[in-house]
Structure 1
Amino acid sequence: MPSDAPHRESGVALLRSELWVLFRRRRTWALLFALAAIPILIAVAIRLSSSPSRGRGPAFLDQVSQNGLFVGVTALIVAIPLFLPLTIGVVAGDTIAGEASHGTLRYLLIAPSGRVRLLVVKYIGAAAFCLAATLTVVVAGTVIGALLFPVGPVTLLSGTTIGVGEALVRFLAIAGYVTISLLGLSAIGLFISTITDVPVGAMAATISLAVAAQIVGALPQLEWLHPWLFSHYWLGFVDLLRDPVSWASFGDNALLQAGYIVVFGAFAYGRFLTKDILS
Protein backbone atom coordinates (compact mmCIF):
# COMPACT_ATOMS: atom_id res chain seq x y z
CA MET A 1 0.00 0.00 0.00
CA PRO A 2 1.27 3.54 -0.71
CA SER A 3 0.83 4.57 2.93
CA ASP A 4 3.38 1.94 3.95
CA ALA A 5 6.06 3.28 1.62
CA PRO A 6 7.46 5.98 3.97
CA HIS A 7 7.72 3.47 6.84
CA ARG A 8 9.40 0.95 4.57
CA GLU A 9 11.85 3.53 3.31
CA SER A 10 12.66 4.66 6.85
CA GLY A 11 13.24 1.04 7.84
CA VAL A 12 15.61 0.48 4.93
CA ALA A 13 17.45 3.71 5.73
CA LEU A 14 17.74 2.69 9.38
CA LEU A 15 19.11 -0.74 8.43
CA ARG A 16 21.59 0.79 6.01
CA SER A 17 22.72 3.20 8.70
CA GLU A 18 23.06 0.39 11.25
CA LEU A 19 25.21 -1.74 8.95
CA TRP A 20 27.30 1.28 7.98
CA VAL A 21 27.98 2.19 11.60
CA LEU A 22 28.61 -1.42 12.64
CA PHE A 23 31.19 -2.15 9.97
CA ARG A 24 32.88 1.23 10.31
CA ARG A 25 33.72 0.68 13.96
CA ARG A 26 37.30 -0.12 14.81
CA ARG A 27 36.04 -2.63 17.36
CA THR A 28 34.24 -4.59 14.64
CA TRP A 29 37.33 -4.76 12.49
CA ALA A 30 39.47 -5.66 15.50
CA LEU A 31 37.15 -8.61 16.20
CA LEU A 32 37.28 -9.72 12.57
CA PHE A 33 41.07 -9.44 12.46
CA ALA A 34 41.29 -11.49 15.66
CA LEU A 35 39.16 -14.19 14.05
CA ALA A 36 41.29 -14.10 10.89
CA ALA A 37 44.37 -14.63 13.06
CA ILE A 38 43.09 -18.06 14.17
CA PRO A 39 43.54 -19.88 10.83
CA ILE A 40 46.73 -17.95 10.16
CA LEU A 41 48.26 -19.08 13.47
CA ILE A 42 47.16 -22.66 12.85
CA ALA A 43 48.65 -22.71 9.35
CA VAL A 44 51.92 -21.08 10.37
CA ALA A 45 52.32 -23.39 13.38
CA ILE A 46 51.83 -26.48 11.20
CA ARG A 47 54.13 -25.10 8.52
CA LEU A 48 56.91 -24.48 11.02
CA SER A 49 56.50 -27.79 12.85
CA SER A 50 58.79 -30.62 11.86
CA SER A 51 56.01 -33.21 11.76
CA PRO A 52 52.24 -33.19 12.37
CA SER A 53 50.94 -34.66 15.61
CA ARG A 54 48.87 -37.63 14.52
CA GLY A 55 45.62 -38.04 16.42
CA ARG A 56 46.14 -34.89 18.44
CA GLY A 57 44.48 -31.50 18.16
CA PRO A 58 41.20 -30.59 16.46
CA ALA A 59 39.64 -32.62 13.66
CA PHE A 60 41.25 -32.33 10.20
CA LEU A 61 44.49 -30.99 11.70
CA ASP A 62 46.43 -33.96 10.30
CA GLN A 63 45.17 -33.22 6.77
CA VAL A 64 46.24 -29.57 6.69
CA SER A 65 49.82 -30.22 5.59
CA GLN A 66 48.55 -32.42 2.72
CA ASN A 67 45.79 -30.05 1.63
CA GLY A 68 45.63 -26.40 2.63
CA LEU A 69 41.87 -26.26 2.09
CA PHE A 70 41.41 -27.94 5.47
CA VAL A 71 42.81 -24.90 7.31
CA GLY A 72 39.47 -23.07 7.21
CA VAL A 73 37.48 -26.03 8.53
CA THR A 74 40.01 -26.72 11.27
CA ALA A 75 39.95 -23.05 12.28
CA LEU A 76 36.14 -23.14 12.52
CA ILE A 77 36.32 -26.12 14.87
CA VAL A 78 38.79 -24.18 17.02
CA ALA A 79 36.79 -20.94 16.90
CA ILE A 80 33.27 -22.25 17.55
CA PRO A 81 33.57 -23.14 21.26
CA LEU A 82 34.87 -19.75 22.44
CA PHE A 83 36.13 -17.22 19.90
CA LEU A 84 33.05 -16.96 17.69
CA PRO A 85 30.62 -16.81 20.67
CA LEU A 86 32.87 -14.19 22.26
CA THR A 87 32.74 -11.89 19.25
CA ILE A 88 29.00 -12.49 18.74
CA GLY A 89 28.40 -11.75 22.41
CA VAL A 90 30.24 -8.43 22.10
CA VAL A 91 28.21 -7.30 19.09
CA ALA A 92 24.80 -8.65 20.18
CA GLY A 93 25.19 -7.44 23.76
CA ASP A 94 25.93 -3.94 22.50
CA THR A 95 22.87 -3.65 20.24
CA ILE A 96 20.50 -1.78 22.58
CA ALA A 97 22.61 -1.30 25.71
CA GLY A 98 25.33 0.41 23.68
CA GLU A 99 22.89 2.97 22.31
CA ALA A 100 21.56 3.60 25.81
CA SER A 101 25.03 4.06 27.28
CA HIS A 102 25.96 6.56 24.55
CA GLY A 103 22.72 8.49 24.96
CA THR A 104 21.59 7.86 21.38
CA LEU A 105 18.71 5.45 22.05
CA ARG A 106 16.17 8.21 22.65
CA TYR A 107 17.26 9.94 19.46
CA LEU A 108 16.74 6.74 17.45
CA LEU A 109 13.24 6.36 18.86
CA ILE A 110 12.36 9.97 18.07
CA ALA A 111 13.00 9.19 14.42
CA PRO A 112 10.11 7.51 12.55
CA SER A 113 11.42 4.02 13.25
CA GLY A 114 9.54 2.69 16.23
CA ARG A 115 10.75 0.28 18.86
CA VAL A 116 9.84 -2.90 16.99
CA ARG A 117 11.56 -1.78 13.80
CA LEU A 118 14.62 -0.73 15.78
CA LEU A 119 14.79 -4.18 17.42
CA VAL A 120 14.52 -5.90 14.05
CA VAL A 121 17.22 -3.70 12.53
CA LYS A 122 19.55 -4.27 15.47
CA TYR A 123 19.07 -8.03 15.20
CA ILE A 124 19.71 -8.02 11.46
CA GLY A 125 22.91 -6.11 12.14
CA ALA A 126 24.00 -8.75 14.67
CA ALA A 127 23.11 -11.50 12.19
CA ALA A 128 25.14 -9.76 9.48
CA PHE A 129 28.12 -9.77 11.82
CA CYS A 130 27.61 -13.52 12.39
CA LEU A 131 27.95 -14.05 8.64
CA ALA A 132 30.96 -11.74 8.39
CA ALA A 133 32.68 -13.44 11.32
CA THR A 134 32.19 -16.94 9.94
CA LEU A 135 33.25 -15.98 6.43
CA THR A 136 36.34 -14.29 7.85
CA VAL A 137 37.51 -17.55 9.42
CA VAL A 138 36.76 -19.64 6.32
CA VAL A 139 38.17 -17.20 3.76
CA ALA A 140 41.30 -16.41 5.78
CA GLY A 141 41.85 -20.13 6.30
CA THR A 142 41.44 -20.92 2.62
CA VAL A 143 43.79 -18.15 1.53
CA ILE A 144 46.56 -18.90 4.03
CA GLY A 145 46.18 -22.62 3.39
CA ALA A 146 46.61 -22.10 -0.34
CA LEU A 147 49.70 -19.97 0.25
CA LEU A 148 51.48 -22.34 2.63
CA PHE A 149 50.36 -25.83 1.57
CA PRO A 150 49.44 -27.80 -1.53
CA VAL A 151 45.85 -27.54 -2.67
CA GLY A 152 44.06 -30.36 -4.42
CA PRO A 153 41.03 -32.67 -4.40
CA VAL A 154 39.44 -33.13 -0.98
CA THR A 155 38.72 -36.53 0.53
CA LEU A 156 35.44 -36.42 2.44
CA LEU A 157 34.62 -38.24 5.66
CA SER A 158 32.80 -40.89 3.64
CA GLY A 159 35.96 -41.59 1.62
CA THR A 160 34.76 -39.92 -1.58
CA THR A 161 37.10 -37.48 -3.30
CA ILE A 162 35.73 -34.23 -4.73
CA GLY A 163 37.35 -31.46 -6.77
CA VAL A 164 38.56 -28.13 -5.46
CA GLY A 165 35.58 -26.23 -6.87
CA GLU A 166 33.01 -28.46 -5.17
CA ALA A 167 35.04 -28.37 -1.97
CA LEU A 168 34.95 -24.57 -1.94
CA VAL A 169 31.18 -24.63 -2.44
CA ARG A 170 30.85 -27.00 0.52
CA PHE A 171 33.03 -24.75 2.65
CA LEU A 172 30.74 -21.83 1.85
CA ALA A 173 27.80 -24.03 2.87
CA ILE A 174 29.64 -24.76 6.13
CA ALA A 175 30.01 -21.01 6.69
CA GLY A 176 26.26 -20.68 6.19
CA TYR A 177 25.62 -23.51 8.64
CA VAL A 178 27.79 -21.91 11.33
CA THR A 179 26.15 -18.53 10.72
CA ILE A 180 22.73 -20.08 11.33
CA SER A 181 24.12 -21.79 14.44
CA LEU A 182 24.98 -18.40 15.96
CA LEU A 183 21.62 -16.74 15.33
CA GLY A 184 20.06 -18.12 18.51
CA LEU A 185 22.91 -16.71 20.60
CA SER A 186 22.46 -13.36 18.84
CA ALA A 187 18.77 -13.33 19.84
CA ILE A 188 19.73 -14.04 23.45
CA GLY A 189 22.26 -11.21 23.35
CA LEU A 190 19.64 -8.84 21.94
CA PHE A 191 17.26 -9.68 24.76
CA ILE A 192 19.91 -9.23 27.44
CA SER A 193 20.85 -5.92 25.83
CA THR A 194 17.31 -4.63 26.43
CA ILE A 195 17.56 -5.40 30.15
CA THR A 196 20.53 -3.22 31.00
CA ASP A 197 22.06 0.08 29.97
CA VAL A 198 25.57 -1.27 30.60
CA PRO A 199 26.84 -2.89 27.37
CA VAL A 200 29.78 -4.62 29.06
CA GLY A 201 27.36 -6.42 31.36
CA ALA A 202 25.20 -7.54 28.42
CA MET A 203 28.27 -8.74 26.54
CA ALA A 204 29.60 -10.67 29.54
CA ALA A 205 26.22 -12.28 30.23
CA THR A 206 25.82 -13.39 26.60
CA ILE A 207 29.31 -14.87 26.46
CA SER A 208 28.83 -16.58 29.83
CA LEU A 209 25.62 -18.22 28.62
CA ALA A 210 27.43 -19.52 25.54
CA VAL A 211 30.12 -21.08 27.73
CA ALA A 212 27.55 -22.44 30.19
CA ALA A 213 25.53 -24.06 27.38
CA GLN A 214 28.60 -25.92 26.17
CA ILE A 215 29.49 -27.06 29.70
CA VAL A 216 25.97 -28.39 30.18
CA GLY A 217 26.21 -30.04 26.76
CA ALA A 218 29.30 -31.93 27.91
CA LEU A 219 27.61 -33.39 31.01
CA PRO A 220 26.14 -36.85 30.33
CA GLN A 221 23.93 -36.49 33.43
CA LEU A 222 22.00 -33.75 31.59
CA GLU A 223 21.71 -35.58 28.29
CA TRP A 224 17.95 -35.05 28.23
CA LEU A 225 18.59 -31.30 28.04
CA HIS A 226 21.19 -31.40 25.27
CA PRO A 227 18.83 -31.26 22.24
CA TRP A 228 17.36 -28.01 23.60
CA LEU A 229 20.67 -26.18 23.95
CA PHE A 230 21.36 -23.59 21.27
CA SER A 231 24.92 -24.94 21.05
CA HIS A 232 23.86 -28.56 20.51
CA TYR A 233 24.36 -28.63 16.73
CA TRP A 234 27.26 -26.20 16.47
CA LEU A 235 29.67 -28.85 15.17
CA GLY A 236 27.09 -30.58 13.01
CA PHE A 237 28.53 -28.93 9.90
CA VAL A 238 30.84 -31.93 9.46
CA ASP A 239 27.82 -33.69 7.91
CA LEU A 240 28.35 -31.39 4.93
CA LEU A 241 31.65 -33.20 4.37
CA ARG A 242 29.97 -36.50 3.60
CA ASP A 243 28.80 -37.98 0.32
CA PRO A 244 25.89 -37.84 0.01
CA VAL A 245 25.45 -34.77 2.20
CA SER A 246 23.51 -35.47 5.40
CA TRP A 247 21.03 -32.58 5.75
CA ALA A 248 19.37 -33.83 8.94
CA SER A 249 21.53 -31.85 11.35
CA PHE A 250 21.24 -28.78 9.09
CA GLY A 251 17.44 -28.85 9.35
CA ASP A 252 17.42 -29.65 13.06
CA ASN A 253 19.88 -26.84 13.75
CA ALA A 254 17.87 -24.31 11.71
CA LEU A 255 14.66 -25.30 13.54
CA LEU A 256 16.34 -25.01 16.94
CA GLN A 257 17.83 -21.60 16.19
CA ALA A 258 14.49 -20.39 14.83
CA GLY A 259 12.90 -21.38 18.13
CA TYR A 260 15.44 -19.34 20.08
CA ILE A 261 14.93 -16.38 17.75
CA VAL A 262 11.17 -16.49 18.26
CA VAL A 263 11.30 -16.96 22.04
CA PHE A 264 14.02 -14.46 22.87
CA GLY A 265 12.80 -12.08 20.18
CA ALA A 266 9.44 -12.08 21.96
CA PHE A 267 11.18 -11.50 25.30
CA ALA A 268 13.14 -8.60 23.81
CA TYR A 269 9.94 -7.20 22.29
CA GLY A 270 8.07 -7.38 25.60
CA ARG A 271 10.92 -5.85 27.55
CA PHE A 272 11.74 -3.09 25.06
CA LEU A 273 8.15 -1.99 24.59
CA THR A 274 7.79 -1.33 28.33
CA LYS A 275 11.31 -0.01 28.88
CA ASP A 276 11.68 3.56 30.11
CA ILE A 277 14.11 5.28 27.77
CA LEU A 278 16.10 7.72 29.85
CA SER A 279 19.06 8.20 27.54
Structure 2
Amino acid sequence: MSSSENARIEVIPDRRTAGWDLLWSELSVLFRRRRTWAMLAAVALIPILLAIAVRLSTSTLAAGEGPPFLSRVTQNGLFVGFTSMVVAIPLFLPLTIGVVAGDTIAGEAGQGTLRYLLVAPAGRVRLLLVKYAGAAAFCLAAALILTVAGLLIGAALFPVGPVTLLSGDVISVPEALLRSLLVAAYVSLSLLGLSAIGLFISTLTDVPVGAMAATVVVSVVAQILDILPQLAWLHPWLFSHYWLGFADLLRQPLDWTSFGTNAVVQLCYIVIFGALAYSRFATKNIQS
Protein backbone atom coordinates (compact mmCIF):
# COMPACT_ATOMS: atom_id res chain seq x y z
CA MET A 1 0.00 0.00 0.00
CA SER A 2 1.39 3.45 -0.94
CA SER A 3 2.26 6.13 1.58
CA SER A 4 -0.62 8.31 0.33
CA GLU A 5 -3.10 5.50 0.95
CA ASN A 6 -1.62 4.94 4.41
CA ALA A 7 -2.29 8.61 5.14
CA ARG A 8 -5.87 8.22 4.01
CA ILE A 9 -6.69 5.28 6.30
CA GLU A 10 -4.91 6.57 9.40
CA VAL A 11 -7.29 6.72 12.37
CA ILE A 12 -7.59 10.28 13.61
CA PRO A 13 -7.94 10.26 17.40
CA ASP A 14 -9.31 13.76 18.07
CA ARG A 15 -12.79 14.37 16.68
CA ARG A 16 -12.35 18.14 17.00
CA THR A 17 -9.44 18.13 14.55
CA ALA A 18 -10.59 15.19 12.44
CA GLY A 19 -12.23 17.38 9.81
CA TRP A 20 -9.18 19.59 9.28
CA ASP A 21 -6.80 16.64 9.23
CA LEU A 22 -9.04 14.85 6.75
CA LEU A 23 -9.26 17.97 4.56
CA TRP A 24 -5.49 18.39 4.58
CA SER A 25 -5.08 14.72 3.72
CA GLU A 26 -7.57 15.04 0.85
CA LEU A 27 -5.88 18.10 -0.63
CA SER A 28 -2.45 16.58 -0.16
CA VAL A 29 -3.38 13.38 -1.96
CA LEU A 30 -5.30 15.20 -4.70
CA PHE A 31 -2.45 17.55 -5.58
CA ARG A 32 0.21 14.85 -5.34
CA ARG A 33 -1.42 12.73 -8.01
CA ARG A 34 0.21 12.72 -11.41
CA ARG A 35 -3.25 12.71 -12.98
CA THR A 36 -4.09 15.99 -11.28
CA TRP A 37 -0.96 17.71 -12.50
CA ALA A 38 -1.38 16.23 -15.96
CA MET A 39 -4.85 17.79 -16.18
CA LEU A 40 -3.59 21.13 -14.86
CA ALA A 41 -0.75 21.05 -17.37
CA ALA A 42 -3.24 20.37 -20.15
CA VAL A 43 -5.30 23.36 -18.98
CA ALA A 44 -2.18 25.54 -19.01
CA LEU A 45 -1.45 24.47 -22.58
CA ILE A 46 -4.71 26.02 -23.82
CA PRO A 47 -3.54 29.66 -23.64
CA ILE A 48 -0.04 28.70 -24.73
CA LEU A 49 -1.22 26.98 -27.90
CA LEU A 50 -3.75 29.72 -28.57
CA ALA A 51 -1.12 32.47 -28.24
CA ILE A 52 1.41 30.64 -30.41
CA ALA A 53 -1.21 30.02 -33.10
CA VAL A 54 -2.15 33.70 -33.17
CA ARG A 55 1.49 34.77 -33.15
CA LEU A 56 2.40 32.54 -36.08
CA SER A 57 -0.70 33.41 -38.06
CA THR A 58 -0.16 35.69 -41.05
CA SER A 59 -3.82 36.68 -41.37
CA THR A 60 -5.52 39.39 -39.35
CA LEU A 61 -8.81 38.59 -37.67
CA ALA A 62 -11.63 41.04 -37.99
CA ALA A 63 -13.61 41.97 -34.91
CA GLY A 64 -16.15 39.24 -34.18
CA GLU A 65 -14.23 36.44 -35.89
CA GLY A 66 -13.26 33.46 -33.74
CA PRO A 67 -13.79 33.33 -29.98
CA PRO A 68 -14.55 36.57 -28.12
CA PHE A 69 -11.48 38.80 -27.50
CA LEU A 70 -9.35 36.85 -30.01
CA SER A 71 -9.04 39.80 -32.36
CA ARG A 72 -7.59 41.87 -29.49
CA VAL A 73 -4.84 39.42 -28.55
CA THR A 74 -2.26 40.85 -30.97
CA GLN A 75 -2.95 44.34 -29.64
CA ASN A 76 -2.65 43.41 -25.98
CA GLY A 77 -1.33 40.15 -24.55
CA LEU A 78 -3.58 40.42 -21.49
CA PHE A 79 -6.49 39.29 -23.66
CA VAL A 80 -4.92 35.82 -24.06
CA GLY A 81 -6.24 34.85 -20.63
CA PHE A 82 -9.76 36.11 -21.34
CA THR A 83 -9.89 34.32 -24.70
CA SER A 84 -8.58 31.12 -23.16
CA MET A 85 -11.38 31.15 -20.60
CA VAL A 86 -13.96 31.36 -23.37
CA VAL A 87 -12.31 28.45 -25.18
CA ALA A 88 -11.82 26.26 -22.10
CA ILE A 89 -15.03 26.61 -20.12
CA PRO A 90 -17.45 24.79 -22.47
CA LEU A 91 -15.47 21.51 -22.63
CA PHE A 92 -11.94 21.39 -21.25
CA LEU A 93 -12.64 22.65 -17.73
CA PRO A 94 -15.84 20.57 -17.29
CA LEU A 95 -13.87 17.53 -18.47
CA THR A 96 -11.26 17.95 -15.75
CA ILE A 97 -13.91 18.74 -13.12
CA GLY A 98 -15.80 15.61 -14.17
CA VAL A 99 -12.69 13.51 -13.55
CA VAL A 100 -12.03 14.99 -10.10
CA ALA A 101 -15.63 15.16 -8.86
CA GLY A 102 -16.58 11.77 -10.28
CA ASP A 103 -13.65 10.18 -8.47
CA THR A 104 -14.47 11.61 -5.04
CA ILE A 105 -16.43 8.72 -3.52
CA ALA A 106 -16.41 6.14 -6.31
CA GLY A 107 -12.62 6.28 -6.47
CA GLU A 108 -12.27 5.45 -2.77
CA ALA A 109 -14.83 2.65 -3.08
CA GLY A 110 -13.05 1.24 -6.11
CA GLN A 111 -9.67 1.26 -4.33
CA GLY A 112 -11.13 -0.31 -1.19
CA THR A 113 -10.21 2.64 1.07
CA LEU A 114 -13.66 4.09 1.68
CA ARG A 115 -14.38 1.82 4.64
CA TYR A 116 -11.12 2.81 6.31
CA LEU A 117 -11.82 6.49 5.84
CA LEU A 118 -15.10 6.06 7.71
CA VAL A 119 -13.26 4.42 10.62
CA ALA A 120 -11.86 7.85 11.47
CA PRO A 121 -14.14 9.93 13.74
CA ALA A 122 -15.16 12.16 10.86
CA GLY A 123 -18.51 10.72 9.87
CA ARG A 124 -20.11 10.47 6.46
CA VAL A 125 -21.31 14.05 6.36
CA ARG A 126 -17.86 15.42 7.10
CA LEU A 127 -16.31 13.09 4.56
CA LEU A 128 -18.70 14.35 1.87
CA LEU A 129 -17.88 17.95 2.77
CA VAL A 130 -14.16 17.26 2.61
CA LYS A 131 -14.49 15.51 -0.74
CA TYR A 132 -16.48 18.41 -2.13
CA ALA A 133 -13.96 20.90 -0.75
CA GLY A 134 -11.23 19.03 -2.62
CA ALA A 135 -13.18 19.27 -5.88
CA ALA A 136 -13.81 22.98 -5.26
CA ALA A 137 -10.10 23.54 -4.62
CA PHE A 138 -9.33 21.93 -7.97
CA CYS A 139 -11.83 24.27 -9.67
CA LEU A 140 -9.97 27.25 -8.24
CA ALA A 141 -6.55 25.82 -9.12
CA ALA A 142 -7.56 25.11 -12.73
CA ALA A 143 -9.00 28.61 -13.24
CA LEU A 144 -5.96 30.29 -11.69
CA ILE A 145 -3.47 28.23 -13.70
CA LEU A 146 -5.35 29.01 -16.90
CA THR A 147 -5.32 32.72 -16.05
CA VAL A 148 -1.66 32.86 -15.01
CA ALA A 149 -0.52 30.84 -18.04
CA GLY A 150 -2.50 33.18 -20.29
CA LEU A 151 -0.97 36.28 -18.71
CA LEU A 152 2.58 34.94 -18.92
CA ILE A 153 2.44 33.73 -22.53
CA GLY A 154 0.54 36.86 -23.54
CA ALA A 155 3.24 39.09 -22.04
CA ALA A 156 5.96 37.01 -23.68
CA LEU A 157 4.56 37.08 -27.24
CA PHE A 158 2.54 40.30 -27.47
CA PRO A 159 2.70 43.89 -26.25
CA VAL A 160 1.11 44.60 -22.89
CA GLY A 161 -0.48 47.89 -21.96
CA PRO A 162 -3.66 49.59 -20.77
CA VAL A 163 -6.75 47.52 -21.57
CA THR A 164 -9.78 48.81 -23.42
CA LEU A 165 -12.85 47.27 -21.79
CA LEU A 166 -16.05 46.20 -23.52
CA SER A 167 -17.62 49.46 -22.36
CA GLY A 168 -14.93 51.44 -24.18
CA ASP A 169 -13.17 52.62 -21.02
CA VAL A 170 -9.43 52.16 -20.63
CA ILE A 171 -7.93 50.74 -17.43
CA SER A 172 -4.34 50.36 -16.28
CA VAL A 173 -2.38 47.10 -16.35
CA PRO A 174 -2.62 46.53 -12.55
CA GLU A 175 -6.39 46.99 -12.69
CA ALA A 176 -6.56 44.65 -15.68
CA LEU A 177 -4.67 42.03 -13.68
CA LEU A 178 -7.23 42.41 -10.90
CA ARG A 179 -10.03 41.93 -13.43
CA SER A 180 -8.28 38.75 -14.60
CA LEU A 181 -8.35 37.39 -11.06
CA LEU A 182 -12.03 38.29 -10.78
CA VAL A 183 -12.70 36.38 -14.00
CA ALA A 184 -10.83 33.37 -12.55
CA ALA A 185 -12.97 33.59 -9.40
CA TYR A 186 -16.12 33.79 -11.54
CA VAL A 187 -15.15 30.69 -13.53
CA SER A 188 -14.27 28.79 -10.34
CA LEU A 189 -17.68 29.67 -8.94
CA SER A 190 -19.35 28.57 -12.18
CA LEU A 191 -17.95 25.06 -11.84
CA LEU A 192 -19.14 24.45 -8.28
CA GLY A 193 -22.60 23.31 -9.37
CA LEU A 194 -21.11 20.72 -11.73
CA SER A 195 -18.81 19.58 -8.91
CA ALA A 196 -21.85 18.96 -6.68
CA ILE A 197 -23.49 16.94 -9.44
CA GLY A 198 -20.31 14.90 -9.84
CA LEU A 199 -20.17 14.26 -6.10
CA PHE A 200 -23.73 12.94 -6.13
CA ILE A 201 -23.11 10.71 -9.15
CA SER A 202 -19.97 9.42 -7.44
CA THR A 203 -22.06 8.13 -4.54
CA LEU A 204 -24.19 6.05 -6.92
CA THR A 205 -21.44 3.73 -8.14
CA ASP A 206 -18.19 2.05 -7.18
CA VAL A 207 -16.81 2.51 -10.70
CA PRO A 208 -15.03 5.90 -10.88
CA VAL A 209 -14.77 5.93 -14.67
CA GLY A 210 -18.54 5.65 -14.94
CA ALA A 211 -19.05 8.55 -12.52
CA MET A 212 -16.52 10.68 -14.39
CA ALA A 213 -18.13 10.00 -17.75
CA ALA A 214 -21.64 10.63 -16.43
CA THR A 215 -20.59 13.99 -14.96
CA VAL A 216 -19.10 15.11 -18.27
CA VAL A 217 -22.21 13.94 -20.13
CA VAL A 218 -24.41 15.99 -17.77
CA SER A 219 -22.29 19.04 -18.59
CA VAL A 220 -22.65 18.50 -22.34
CA VAL A 221 -26.40 17.91 -22.09
CA ALA A 222 -26.88 21.09 -20.05
CA GLN A 223 -25.06 23.14 -22.67
CA ILE A 224 -27.10 21.58 -25.48
CA LEU A 225 -30.33 22.41 -23.66
CA ASP A 226 -29.05 25.94 -23.16
CA ILE A 227 -28.92 26.61 -26.92
CA LEU A 228 -32.41 25.33 -27.71
CA PRO A 229 -34.76 28.32 -28.06
CA GLN A 230 -37.76 26.10 -27.31
CA LEU A 231 -36.42 25.70 -23.75
CA ALA A 232 -35.81 29.38 -23.08
CA TRP A 233 -37.85 29.13 -19.86
CA LEU A 234 -35.37 26.55 -18.55
CA HIS A 235 -32.14 28.37 -19.48
CA PRO A 236 -31.84 30.59 -16.37
CA TRP A 237 -31.98 27.47 -14.17
CA LEU A 238 -29.23 25.54 -15.96
CA PHE A 239 -25.93 25.50 -14.09
CA SER A 240 -24.09 26.20 -17.36
CA HIS A 241 -26.20 29.18 -18.43
CA TYR A 242 -24.02 31.84 -16.80
CA TRP A 243 -20.64 30.27 -17.51
CA LEU A 244 -19.67 33.00 -19.98
CA GLY A 245 -21.23 35.82 -17.98
CA PHE A 246 -17.80 37.03 -16.82
CA ALA A 247 -17.88 39.52 -19.72
CA ASP A 248 -19.78 41.81 -17.31
CA LEU A 249 -16.58 42.03 -15.26
CA LEU A 250 -14.89 43.67 -18.25
CA ARG A 251 -17.03 46.79 -18.15
CA GLN A 252 -16.72 50.09 -16.35
CA PRO A 253 -18.14 50.38 -13.77
CA LEU A 254 -18.04 46.76 -12.66
CA ASP A 255 -21.35 44.99 -13.21
CA TRP A 256 -21.86 42.34 -10.52
CA THR A 257 -25.29 41.24 -11.75
CA SER A 258 -24.16 38.09 -13.56
CA PHE A 259 -21.75 37.24 -10.72
CA GLY A 260 -24.54 37.38 -8.15
CA THR A 261 -27.06 35.51 -10.29
CA ASN A 262 -24.49 32.85 -11.11
CA ALA A 263 -23.67 32.46 -7.41
CA VAL A 264 -27.35 31.91 -6.56
CA VAL A 265 -27.78 29.29 -9.31
CA GLN A 266 -24.62 27.41 -8.31
CA LEU A 267 -25.67 27.52 -4.64
CA CYS A 268 -29.02 25.96 -5.54
CA TYR A 269 -27.25 23.08 -7.30
CA ILE A 270 -24.84 22.67 -4.39
CA VAL A 271 -27.70 22.46 -1.89
CA ILE A 272 -29.89 20.15 -4.00
CA PHE A 273 -27.21 17.71 -5.14
CA GLY A 274 -25.38 17.93 -1.84
CA ALA A 275 -28.58 16.80 -0.13
CA LEU A 276 -29.05 14.03 -2.68
CA ALA A 277 -25.43 12.92 -2.19
CA TYR A 278 -25.94 12.81 1.58
CA SER A 279 -29.22 10.93 1.24
CA ARG A 280 -27.54 8.31 -0.91
CA PHE A 281 -24.26 8.11 1.01
CA ALA A 282 -25.85 8.02 4.46
CA THR A 283 -27.74 4.82 3.59
CA LYS A 284 -25.07 3.27 1.40
CA ASN A 285 -23.76 -0.12 2.46
CA ILE A 286 -19.99 0.26 2.45
CA GLN A 287 -18.47 -3.05 1.40
CA SER A 288 -14.97 -1.82 0.65
1:105: how far off? Answer: 0.2
The CA RMSD over aligned residues, in Å, is: 0.9
Which of 135, 138, 141 in structure 2 is aligned with 1:129?
A: 138
Does 2:172 match 1:163? Answer: yes
2:20 corresponds to which of 12, 15, 27: 12
1:227 aligns with 2:224: no
Match of 2:106 in 1: 97
Secondary structure of 1:85 counterpart: helix
Which 5+ residue runs of structure 2 have no aligned equivalent?
1-12
Corresponding residue to 1:38 among 34, 46, 54 = 46
Q: Distance in 1 between matches of 2:285 and 2:145?
A: 38
User: Which runs of structure 2 are paired with 1:110-149 in the superposition (5 Å)?
Assistant: 110-149=119-158
Q: 1:205 aligns with which of 179, 201, 214?
A: 214
Does 2:181 correspond to 1:195?
Answer: no
Higher mean alpha-carbon deviation, 158-167 vs 108-117, is at 108-117
Partner of 1:184: 193
Aligned to 2:256: 247
Distance 1:228 1:66 in 2: 37
Superposition deviation, residue 162 in structure 1: 0.1
Shift of 1:112: 1.3
Q: Tell me, in whole angstroms, the C-alpha distance in 2 between the residues paired with 1:98 and 1:222.
A: 35
Residue identity in the other structure for 1:146: A
Provide the residue aligned with 1:25 in structure 2.
33
Q: Is 2:61 aligned against 1:53?
A: yes
1:51 to partner: Cα distance: 2.5
Counterpart in 2 of 1:258? 267
Identical columns (%)? 71
Cα distance in structure 2, aligned partners of 1:184 and 1:52: 38
Residue type matched to 2:249 in 1? L
Aligned AA for 2:60? P
Superposed CA offset, 1:5-61 (max 9, x none)? 932311100000000000000000000000000000000000101123223210000
Residue 113 of structure 1: how far off its partner (Å)? 1.3
Q: When the two structures are superposed, what TM-score results if normalisation uses the length of structure 2? A: 0.94
CA distance in 1, matches of 2:75, 2:196: 39
Separation in structure 2 between the aligned mates of residue 222 and residue 65 of structure 1, nearest angstrom = 38
Q: Where in structure 1 are there 5+ consecutive unaligned residues?
A: none
Q: 1:64 aligns with which of 61, 68, 73?
A: 73
Distance 1:8 1:224 in 2: 46
Tell me which amino acid in the other structure corresponds to 1:95.
T
Q: Does the 8 Å CA contact 1:196/1:202 hold for their aligned counterparts?
A: yes
Q: Deviations over 1:124-149 (max 9, x none)?
A: 00000000011111110000000000
Instruction: Give 2:277's aligned residue.
Output: 268
User: In structure 1, how many angstroms separate the alpha carbons of the residues matched to 2:167 and 2:244?
Assistant: 17
